[in-house]
Amino acid sequence: MHNNGISLSPEEMARYSRHIAIPEFNIEGQKKLKAAKVLVIGSGGLGSPVLLYLAAAGIGHIGIVDFDVVDDSNLQRQVLFTVDDVGKSKAETAKKRLLALNPYINITVHNTAFTKDNALDIIKDYDVVADGTDNFPTRYLVNDACVLAGKVNVYASIFRFEGQVSVFNYPGENGERGPNYRDLFPEPPPPGLVPNCAEGGVIGVLPGIIGSLQASEVIKVVSGVGEPLSGRLFLFDASSFTTRTLQVIKNPETKITELINYEQFCGIVPAENLEAVKEISVQDFKALQDSGADFQLIDVREAYEYEISNLNGELIPLNRIAEAGNKIAKDKQVIIHCRTGKRSADAIRELQQLYQFENLYNLTGGINAFAKEIDTSLPVY
């Protein structure tokens, strides 16, 4: 993050005057921001505030990794986007918005998934990585790639009302790197134990709070002003407005020598290796409804999702499906659905393994597919 040869135009001096007025920050700090290259992985809940504030602050080169498109359900917290952006590329839309906010910066879009095959190639040109991902395989991948490439990893995560922030792999005064994510979490939780934000929810303002703290840590790392959260984990609970800061200790046994199969490491079975389940399309399901045939419909979503929209099925959330074998008919067709078809397929596999059912059908695409293709009066969420 050398700022040799970096200069600020009169327009930039005026724009960043509130930074420059800080005695310990001043022009030199602003030049360091302009010289910096920061990669933000994910432009969603956390990525939105991180990108907005880093762009506004004058980080000279920002990279965005995201292959997703904007969805209506994003807009409750992903403040980079508007209703006009629904269906568009998040990364490309983010670039347009950020350059409208600050035309004096450069932005590179990586409209791709971040994988073990491209991770090191993508991050090699950046100084600092801000991890705005929402799943364990990618968090471990980001961490390991940063350790192998010698990059600082500014980490944050959110769930419901709680958030956490830390700075991993930070070089100390002696040049030794600080703790990384694996020193904090050597092993991932069992698959399905921690629901994602789509299943467990997140209060919309939380990523704004935590993402802003994450952006603050990036600016501290880049400028050298202040003491980054290296060796510390900051915890915030919005519901009780309490905070804690825990110490993170390096584990000498933590060894990272190569990028691995992170889905496998986190116990996630690849889709192609999962037991196939019988499917019914939303069109065939509608025809079945209209025919008056006798069938059982089970909804394995959460109660709050049922309130958003439902197909009048019997609600048995996925985490209670194993104990509900006696509630499910064996003498007629049983159709099981969730939001998109993934949880219902998992429910069918579990029921078939436990009770040897042979009459279970997964509604392809879930209630969202039904809402898009059959009954457009139902909300898609």
Name the strand (E) or helix (H) holding 107.
Answer: strand 106-110
CA distance 290 to 283: 11
Exposure on the CB side of residue 101, measured as CA atoms within 13 A: 20
The catalytic position among 38, 94, 122, 197 is 197
Smallest Cα–Cα separation from 91: which of 62, 58, 131? 62
Q: Is 338 a catalytic residue?
A: yes
Smallest Cα–Cα separation from 46: which of 104, 108, 129, 137? 129
Residues 6+ apart with CB under 8 A from 252: none
Helix axes 206-223, 26-35, angle to 10 degrees: 110
Backbone angles phi, psi at 32, to 5 degrees: -65, -40
The catalytic position among 210, 338, 348, 351 is 338
Eight-class DSSP state of 267: T
Percent of the chain that is helix, strand, coil (3-state, to 5): 40, 20, 40
Question: How many residues are recorded in the chain?
Answer: 381
Q: Taking the CB of residue 99, how many other CB atoms lie within 10 A of it? A: 15
CA angle 53, 57, 60 (to 5 degrees): 110
Q: Is 146 a catalytic residue?
A: no
Active-site residue list: 197, 338
